[in-house]
Amino acid sequence: MIRTVRHLADGREIIYYDESPHERDAVDTRDLPQVAAASEIRRDPLSGEWVAMAAHRQTRTYKPPADLCPLCPSKPGKPSEIPESDYDVVVFENRFPSFSPRVVGEPSSVDNLGLVPTAPGKGRCDVVCFTSNHYGSFATLSPERVRTVVDAWADRTESMSALDGVEQVFPFENRGEEIGVTLSHPHGQIYAYPFVTPKTRRALETARAYQEEHGRPVLGDVLAAERESGRRIIAEGEHWTAFVPPAARWPVHVLLVPHRQVPDIPALTDAERDDFARVYLQVLGRCDALYDRPLPYIAAWNQAPVRIDRELGWLHLELFSILRAKDKLKYLAGSESGMGVWINDATPEQIAERLRAAGA
């Protein structure tokens, strides 16, 4: 992989990840104003969780026509976020970030009462374009291209982890309008948070309690049990296993877990990265065959925090969908949204059987 760093017209960083040598000297000719990120985080005194306020994102690009897609390569008379005429994988700073290194300000509290702490929304948000093909998808990438994406995730995780104040790095992909995607070009994002996320904190607390009681990592024991049972396994490789979690919350819900405990993507070996590509493409193929239509999903990397409890982390990818039938959505209504108690309309064993049958 060849890594080339350039800058866009407003000073944002853009990084090309090429599989063969390319000259990357195209200039962004757009007349862009400087990025004006005004992110703020506030800690909810009732839950102890941080909430981000990013009102400037209201003006972000919303469902442009394909010929004006900002993630496609630039064409004569149609400049985009990528100045080059083609690319393999490219990453650039989001023009409408939820968190930004450019945010200024000091910690304070709402109305200066001391009850609700506030702080600048420091961090970074990157966009990751998986392919220059507007009509492709992650599932249609070659294993070699998936490997390039994994290497890009690893590189960005290392770089973002070194930023001042960043506590957790989160690569993810939102796919499909049902999920809320407003740009249909195949892409994902990476958030560098100025705090450890609530989900990760809860998972670490559970992992710590299990480790203290049993002397072993909880995800390691779950993985061993799933491989022994086999009832919920979707795909397997030499270094990865994909399975429906035994307490699945979503109508389609899959975990991809490496057989070796590592804290994050940069810690994966070359062999583990290659094997992930093969296993993940199998999973995505089954997902798209499930309802004979592109499955809307969220693919979320669970990495250890940057500075704390890294010995408790076990990297894994969680993929889930709100589509419970070809034309029916799973709505997060009273119990899920109001109380955080999930009710699934299918058992994990049924979900696994449907996914295995879809790939037959």
Q: Report the chain's mean pLDDT, rounded to a whole number.
A: 95
Check residue 61 and give its pLDDT.
67
Q: Residues 188-201: what's their mean pLDDT? A: 97
Helix (H, G, I), strand (E, B) or coil at 325: strand
Examine the pLDDT at 60 and tell me if it is beyond 80.
no
- Tens-place pLDDT, residues 284-310: 999 999 999 999 999 999 999 999 999
pTM across the whole model: 0.96
Examine the pLDDT at 38 and tell me if it is beyond 90.
no
Q: Which residues, other chains included, contact 213 with Cβ-Cβ below 8 Å and sequence gap of 6+?
A: none
Examine the pLDDT at 133 and tell me if it is beyond 80.
yes
Check residue 59 and give its pLDDT.
62
Tell me what percent of the residues of the chain surpass a pLDDT of 90. Answer: 89
Determine which one of 187, 239, 253, 316 is catalytic: 187
CA 100 to chain CA centroid, Å, is 17
- Tens-place pLDDT, residues 92-109: 999 989 999 989 899 999
User: Annotation-wise, does 69 bind a ligand?
Assistant: yes
Check residue 36 and give its pLDDT.
75
Cα angle value 298/149/38 (rounded, 5°) = 60
User: Annotation-wise, does 134 bind a ligand?
Assistant: yes
Cα–Cα nearest to 295, from 325, 255, 256: 325
Examine the pLDDT at 66 and tell me if it is beyond 80.
no
- Tens-place pLDDT, residues 141-151: 999 999 999 99
Examine the pLDDT at 173 and tell me if it is beyond 90.
yes
Tell me what percent of the residues of the chain surpass a pLDDT of 70. Answer: 98
d(CA 235, CA 284): 10
**pLDDT-based confidence at residue 55 (cuts at 50, 70, 90):** confident
Cα–Cα nearest to 255, from 220, 209, 228: 220
8 Å CB contact between 274 and 142: no
Check residue 62 and give its pLDDT.
60
Q: Say how many C-beta atoms besides its own lie within 10 A of residue 184's C-beta.
A: 17
Examine the pLDDT at 9 and tell me if it is beyond 90.
yes
Angle between helices 218-229 and 198-214 (to 10 degrees): 80
Q: Say how many C-beta atoms besides its own lie within 10 A of residue 47's C-beta.
A: 9
2-195 shares its CATH topology with 199-358: yes
Cα–Cα nearest to 355, from 309, 321, 331: 321
* Neighbouring C-alpha atoms within 13 Å toward the C-beta of 352: 19
Residue type, 317: L
Check residue 298 and give its pLDDT.
97
Q: For tokens 């195209």, name the residue.
A: 26
Q: Which residues, other chains included, contact 266 with Cβ-Cβ below 8 Å and sequence gap of 6+?
A: 154, 155, 157, 158
Is domain 199-358 given the CATH code 3.30.428.10 in the classification?
yes
What are the structural domain ranges in the chain?
Answer: 2-195, 199-358
Is 187 designated active site? yes
Cα–Cα nearest to 12, from 34, 38, 45, 39: 34
User: Annotation-wise, does 125 bind a ligand?
Assistant: no
What class does CATH assign to 2-195?
A: alpha beta
d(CA 263, CA 234): 23
Q: Residues 1-20: what's their mean pLDDT? A: 96
Examine the pLDDT at 273 and tell me if it is beyond 80.
yes
